[in-house]
Structure 1
Amino acid sequence: MTTPDETPQERPTPGPRSGHYGEISPGVPRYGQYAPEGWVPPSSSDPNTPGNPGHDGGPSSGLPPASAYPGFQGAGSQNKDGTLPHRGSGPVPPGQHLAAPRQVRLASRLVMAAGALQGLSGVLLLFVLFLPSVRTTLIDAMKAALPSDPAYDTLLADSAMITGLLVAATILSLVAAAVYFWLATKIRKGANWARTTGLVLAIVSLLALTQPNVFTIVQVGLGVVAMIILFRSPAREYFAKHVQGNGPHGY
């Protein structure tokens, strides 16, 4: 308010502060103001408009990166053929895979551990085969363990026969270790035939307990525990989905 002798004072222009609307962009009216005649709002999709970051404005747009949103499917989560992994409760479509549950992954590792023990036995047989001192120690141990029989004495005295048996046992042991690892990989991918094959091998391996030792007990126990896990829920449903989506054999 002024008197006749006073010069009217200009009201200072309030700057942007809490509770006031600042300028959105050059030429854009503030809240509560009328737009000038002929004014056209800037396009939100034009990245060249001043003050508008556009769709690909990056960090200046104020939006988090795409990888921060739930359900983001990056390139690393795709299958080898470029398709996305199957998600949901239905059967697995051909060409896609279903993420293995924790129990199936655990069983697969147990089978691999049994395979590692089998491979270790093959390596030990190689030492027996190529180290004469180790072979002599093994033959003496076998003579002490086997009953006194002229047939056993003749067999253990035949060096060529012993060498042939060691070679055959080494090859079979290493091949069996490779089969263990191969089945473990297929089991993790949901191949039902691999699970069935593993069950058959686990049952056959029980025959090794007729002459038990710590090494054999641990190896057979790993396979048996793995099969028990694979034929219980949720592993049972996991393999059933693969059978439904890939045919009767579950490939």
Structure 2
Amino acid sequence: MSNPPYPPSNPGDASQPEQPGGQPAAPQYGQQSPAAPQYGQQSPAAPQYGQQSPAAPQYGQPAAPYGQAPGAPQYGQDTNWPSQQPGPTTVPQMVNIAFWLIVGAGAIWLISILIAMAALNDPTMRSMVEDQMAAGGAADVRFEDVQGFIVGVMVVLGIIGAGLYALVAINVRKGRNWARILGTILAALSIFALVPLSLATLSALLGIAAIVLLYLPASAPYFRKAQPFGNAYQNPYGR
């Protein structure tokens, strides 16, 4: 006996016979799968013509580097680190006070040099110098023989001291950190001028007070400048 044949399938009929076991039969020739898109219809997940995928970067927009989140800063981009942010552009009041203290210390230093040069003509000063030379084994040397040398040394010391005071004062007001460091070194060396008490002592005290003001929180940010290595693509020599 022969099995009865299956009824012919109609291409336009949506209903299809089931195979043994309850599973739907495969689509017949010329019939598409229900899940496949029709002719001229794109898949819902595919972007339309001229429309980019939401995850793709726009034209002219650089893509995020490999292993870096989209919102993270790029390599070599300045970050808001406090140590790399420039300080205020206007001169703080404490810096102005320190500037005038340094100027005053330099002026007092010059005045002390002039007073010391004028005191060379004092008989007491002459006898003191001659006694020191005699104690050093130069008893036959008179004061007039070394007076010119002493005056020359004082003039050189006065010029060097005034130049250093002016150099530190002008550049400190401009916010140069190296000037603050130089002033700190000079203030440390001026401690030896505190004794004996004289005008040089007052000059040293004014200079030390000025350097202390430059390290206070009200004036220290003025000397903080942006580091040249904050941006890897910025030329540090072109500033």
Q: Distance in 2 between matches of 1:168 and 1:118?
A: 15
Q: Distance in 2 between matches of 1:247 and 1:185?
A: 27
Instruction: Determine what percentage of the aligned residue pairs are the same residue.
Output: 24
Q: CA RMSD in A?
A: 3.2
* d(CA) in 1 for partners of 2:142, 2:229: 55
1:62 alignment counterpart: none
Q: Deviations over 1:32-72 (max 9, x none)?
A: xxxxxxxxxxxxxxxxxxxxxxxxxxxxxxxxxxxxxxxxx
Q: CA deviation at 1:207?
A: 1.4
* TM-score, length basis structure 2: 0.53
Match of 2:103 in 1: 112
For residues 245 and 176 of structure 1, what CA distance do their matches in structure 2 show?
32
Q: Distance in 2 between matches of 1:228 and 1:194?
A: 14
Tell me which amino acid in the other structure corresponds to 1:157: R
In structure 2, how many angstroms separate the alpha carbons of the residues matched to 1:173 and 1:155? 30
Q: Structure 1 pair 155/225, CA: closer, same or farther in 2 (3 Å)? A: farther
CA contact (8 A) 1:112 1:181 kept: yes
Measure how far apart 1:183 and its partner are.
Answer: 1.2
Q: Which moved more, 1:134-143 or 1:184-193?
A: 134-143
Equivalent residues of 1:104, 1:230 under 8 A apart? yes
- Alpha-carbon distance in 2 for matches of 1:158, 1:230: 44
Report how many residues are paired.
Answer: 148
Alignment of 1:227 with 2:214, yes or no, is no
- Tell me whether 1:182 sits opposite 2:185 in the alignment: no
> Is structure 2 residue 226 aligned with structure 1 residue 244?
yes
| Distance in 2 between residues matched to 1:115 and 1:232, nearest whole Å | 22
**Distance change (3 Å), C-alpha of 1:139 and 1:153:** farther
Partner of 1:205: 190
Instruction: Name the CA shift for 1:156/1:110 in 2 (closer, same or farther; >3 Å).
Output: farther
Which whole-Å CA distance do the structure 2 matches of 1:203 and 1:113 have between them?
A: 18
Unaligned ranges ≥5, structure 2: 1-84, 231-238
Point out the structure with max Rg over C-alpha.
Answer: 2
2:113 to 119, 122, 129: 122
Match of 2:127 in 1: 140
User: What is the CA–CA distance in structure 1 between the aligned matches of 2:186 and 2:192, rounded to whole Å?
Assistant: 10
CA contact (8 A) 1:122 1:174 kept: no
Cα distance in 1, alignment partners of residues 107 and 228 from structure 2? 30
> SS at the partner of 2:196?
coil
Retained in 1: the 8 A contact 2:95–2:214?
yes
Aligned mates of 2:165, 2:229 — CA distance in 1: 24
* Residues 15-94 of structure 1: pairs in structure 2 closer than 5 A: 90-91=85-86
Q: Does 1:217 align with 2:204?
A: no
| Residue pair 2:183, 2:211 contacting (<8 A) in 1 also | yes
Give the AA of the match of 2:209: V
Letter in 2 for 1:244: A
Shift of 1:100: 0.8
Change (3 A) 1:108 1:156: farther
Which residue identity does 1:186 align to in structure 2?
Answer: N
The letter of the residue matching 2:159 is: L
TM superposition score normalised by structure 1 = 0.50
Q: Of 89, 96, 106, which residue of structure 2 is paired with 1:98? A: 89
Higher helix share: 1
**Which one has more relative contact order, counting CA pairs under 8 Å at least 6 apart?**
2
